[in-house]
Amino acid sequence: MTFSFELFPPKTDKGMENLRDTIGHLCEFRPDYFSITYGAGGTNAGRNMDVCRMVLDAGTVPVTHFTCIGNTREEIREQLRSYLDQGVDHMLALRGDLPHGWTGTGGDFSYASDLVAFVRREFGSRFEIAVAGSPEGHIQCRSLEADIAVLKQKQDNGADYIMTQLCWDMEQFKRWLDAIRRAGITMPVDVGVMPILDQAATINMALSRNGCVMDRDLCRIISRNWIFPNPFVSDPSDAEAEDKKARFREEGMEYTIRQIDTYRTLGIGGIHLYALNKWKDVSEIIGRSGMRTRV
């Protein structure tokens, strides 16, 4: 089973310097790769390359996110040649989140499946290509069945493996895993795991982008530690706010560890842990789960 982290390019020079230190600490767990995001519409693409170089310098494999948004065929060709010249030959092919107000990608490709086919046609086997999988169905797809059909198309077009979106509904994940196998999808599945550490961030991640289910155990953790008037207020009136934040972090960490335990029993290809550019929290999760030890 593979083990990996997701990072994002910081917007400041100080953040970039801190990230170099974070990568060093996370490399103590011998990850198989780091995936590196960039912003909607390709923003932060330059810093994405900088982070890829940091990962290469640390002696491991960078997997760059790469989206269709705003990209013509020629621009994609040139950008990917640049990645290859820098030694980056692993990518996660995505449509990408549309910037606010956009109704389409604004580029030559509307779907990640088209991007996969193009990369295979232009570069052959020079790239290892991951694609996204949505155990609950993509928020913009008309049905789970349609979403699985698209995933099969990505495989047919040349994708190598799947990185999943976060999923806290474990029964739904099991149903999805069975369904994609019945559909003839044989690609390994690396499961994206979002650590539960902050109440507002958890709710925002579930509802603002993914439309995913927060299961009863997670909802109970949120309810037990609810910060009044709500967790999105920067200066809450709740006198117990700091204690609740600490309790939520501890209960959320235990929830994340139990989720990892369940995933590990299902025959998945790997665990892909969203590091959130922090090493202390995820190091504690890794250590307490027992799934990896430091070198």
Active site residues: 6
* Contact between 185 and 213 (Cβ < 8 Å): no
* Contact between 143 and 96 (Cβ < 8 Å): no
* Contact between 188 and 238 (Cβ < 8 Å): no
* Contact between 189 and 162 (Cβ < 8 Å): yes
Tokens at 276, concatenated: 């959130």
- What are the C-alpha distances in Å from 157 to residues 132, 140, 148? 14, 21, 14
For the chain, the maximum distance between any two Cα atoms, rounded to a whole number of angstroms, is 60
Kindly report the backbone phi and psi dihedral angles of residue 83, in degrees, each rounded to the nearest multiple of 5, phi listed first: -60, -45
**Helices (DSSP H) in 44-188: which residue ranges?**
45-57, 73-85, 112-123, 144-156, 170-182
Selection from 57, 75, 179 nearest residue 122 by Cα? 75
